[in-house]
Amino acid sequence: MDSRPIGVFDSGMGGLTVLHECLVTLPHEDFVYLGDGARLPYGPRPLVEIRRFAAEIAGYLEQQGVKLIVAACNSATAAALPDLQQLLTVPVIGVLAPEAHAAVLATRNRRIGLLATEATVASGRYPELVRALDAGAEVVSIACPRLVPLIEADGAFGEEIAVAVREYAAPLKDAGVDTVILGCTHYPLIRPVLQRVFGRGVTLVFSAEETAREVAETLERKGIENADSREGAYRFLTTGDPGLFCEMGRRFLQLPIGSAEYVEVATLEAVA
């Protein structure tokens, strides 16, 4: 038995959609989530900068005594996962590989679309992962810079979201994709809008469940799972406004958030 918590991080609140699945899959484990609200969004930033932010946060979480880290941010996973796995002594799991695997299994015509942030698209990691599984699969990648700010804003399900989704979906529909990877942890919140635009004939892939299963399998394989007779706890850290994190975070987590602790960016930078 290993009672240390599992660390989860994201640029803001989108990773709470991944944390939700981890909490459901592993109700006996403790979790600590860090959202880097002060530096949100990561998507428009250069990959080298995102890599530095991810190293700071992951290093801080390791210092907090976590036993495993989930990079619940597609941009951070795309930019930094191999570096984090080399840098840290605890296992680090990202969200890209499970989605690529799920997309290859789901597609019927081997044409896969990707909606993601600019940084994730620029990294080229999704096409690499997909083609490693199926060299004949085609990936059409579309950067969606407007979606994250709209989803985090008030009235995120209004007409402006629908207009943006139709714009970003058009080239994928023209390409005849039958599967679309939702390559950002924010996007599941607008899944109904996306499904309406693409239609029921297109499979939308978001791998929070697969990521949670990978966490569970890693804990078991390494013998660091917690006792399954207990109920786990979870706590939240943010470099942004704790009140705003709690208010908006409930929408992403779909579970209560009582409070969030403030962490200065300088504290993270000092770790690196």
Per-residue pLDDT tens for 37-94?
A: 999 899 999 999 999 999 999 999 999 999 999 999 999 999 999 999 999 999 999 9
Per-residue pLDDT tens for 216-248?
A: 999 999 999 999 899 999 999 999 999 999 999
What CATH number should be reported for the domain whose range is 6-95+209-271? 3.40.50.1860
What pLDDT is attached to residue 111? 98
Asked whether the beta carbons of 130 and 139 are under 8 A apart, the reply is yes
Asked if pLDDT for residue 155 goes beyond 70, the answer is no
Mean pLDDT of the region 169-180 = 98
What pLDDT is attached to residue 74? 96
What CATH number should be reported for the domain whose range is 97-206? 3.40.50.1860
Asked if pLDDT for residue 157 goes beyond 80, the answer is no
Distance CA 53, CA 140 (A): 28
Asked whether the beta carbons of 69 and 90 are under 8 A apart, the reply is yes
Start and end residues for every CATH 3.40.50.1860 domain found in the chain? 6-95+209-271, 97-206
Mean pLDDT of the region 140-164 = 87
Q: 53-57: list long-range contacts, CB under 8 Å, 24+ apart.
A: 53/11, 53/268, 54/9, 54/79, 54/80, 54/83, 54/84, 55/80, 55/83, 55/84, 55/87, 55/272, 56/268, 56/269, 56/271, 56/272, 57/9, 57/268
Q: Which residue reads 């200065």 in tokens?
A: 264
Q: Which pLDDT band, with edges at 50, 70 and 90, does 156 fall under?
A: low
Give catalytic residue positions.
73, 184
Q: What average pLDDT does the structure give for the chain?
A: 95
